[in-house]
Structure 1
Amino acid sequence: MIKLIVFSLVILSIFVHTTNAALTAGFTVHIINALPNNDVPFSVQCESKDDNLGLKTPKVGEDYNFSFRGNLLGTTRFYCHYSWGSKKQLFDVFNSQMYKSRECGNISGNDYECFWKVQEDGFYFAGHNSPESYSKKYDWN
């Protein structure tokens, strides 16, 4: 009887994981370092409830990015801590509102990408990586 329960739980877990991957959208978040130079170190650390992606130090012009699938409830949230010299900032780079409104740009099918450009005067967001699509969302603290 216990073997049957364990087997059933394993099958259910596989089904839920497979269904989630098939039914939910995939997202790639890009963080582009568009600061003026590498003289002042820039770092970013992104996290979700389940994952800490570690401290990254992209150089000027580099695109740090990560991909994930949204959860079935549409509550996936990633936030990032930014540091550039004495300047700091923390905000969501992806959250349930962005998930539901599909603010990120469609790549194909059920896959989307979100772009964040880090500049000297703040943080800019776009659904696609084209100059005219960016709008300023946050200042440095």
Structure 2
Amino acid sequence: MVFAMCLGCWSVSAEHHGIYLGRVRVYVNNLIAPNKMMDIHCKSKDDDLQLQTLAYGQNQTWSFKVNFWGTTLFWCGMGWKDDTGRYLQGSFKIYEYMRDYSKCDGICVWNAQKDGLYFLNPETRDPPELMFTW
């Protein structure tokens, strides 16, 4: 009982100090180019979201609860064919708690474009930030 009370106090304190341990929703949008398909396979240590192919303008979205230790990590393998037929691909950390808890506000948006992956916080008016290149 004492442990549960202390845990409750820590959770309130953690939320108060900017540590986000709630539910997070991630969106990965294919904005590469019209008629460009993008393969995406996202997973964490505990969850495998399976391989999907997204048409231009489509997205993959999922939500999860950040773990107590703040070590939640999702990564995605992505790829697409450029105009020459070359397959451009990479594996990217799409959600990493220590990097993203203060940036996402519970919603993390990634836009895949021809030059790489852009992070966007829909709560701010900041321009998208190029985080990863192919």
Q: Distance in 2 between matches of 1:96 and 1:70?
A: 8
Taking structure 1 as the reference length, what is the TM-score of the superposition?
A: 0.71
Greater share of helix: 1
User: What is residue 44 of structure 1 aligned with on the other side?
Assistant: 40
User: What is residue 88 of structure 2 aligned with on the other side?
Assistant: 87
Instruction: Please list every run of 5 or more consecutive structure 2 residues that lacks an aligned counterpart in the other structure.
Output: 13-20, 82-86
| Same amino acid, percent of matched pairs | 27
User: What is residue 12 of structure 1 aligned with on the other side?
Assistant: none
Q: CA RMSD in A?
A: 2.3
Cα 1:60–1:131 change in 2 (3 A) is farther
Q: 2:37, 2:54 within 8 Å by CA — same for their partners in 1?
A: no
User: What is residue 125 of structure 1 aligned with on the other side?
Assistant: 119
Cα deviation for residue 68 of structure 1 reads 0.3
Cα deviation for residue 132 of structure 1 reads 4.4
Cα deviation for residue 59 of structure 1 reads 1.1
Q: 2:37, 2:56 within 8 Å by CA — same for their partners in 1?
A: no
Q: Return the match for 1:75 from 62, 71, 76.
A: 71
**1:32 is aligned to 2:29:** yes
Taking structure 2 as the reference length, what is the TM-score of the superposition?
A: 0.75
- Secondary structure of the residue that 1:115 maps to in structure 2? strand
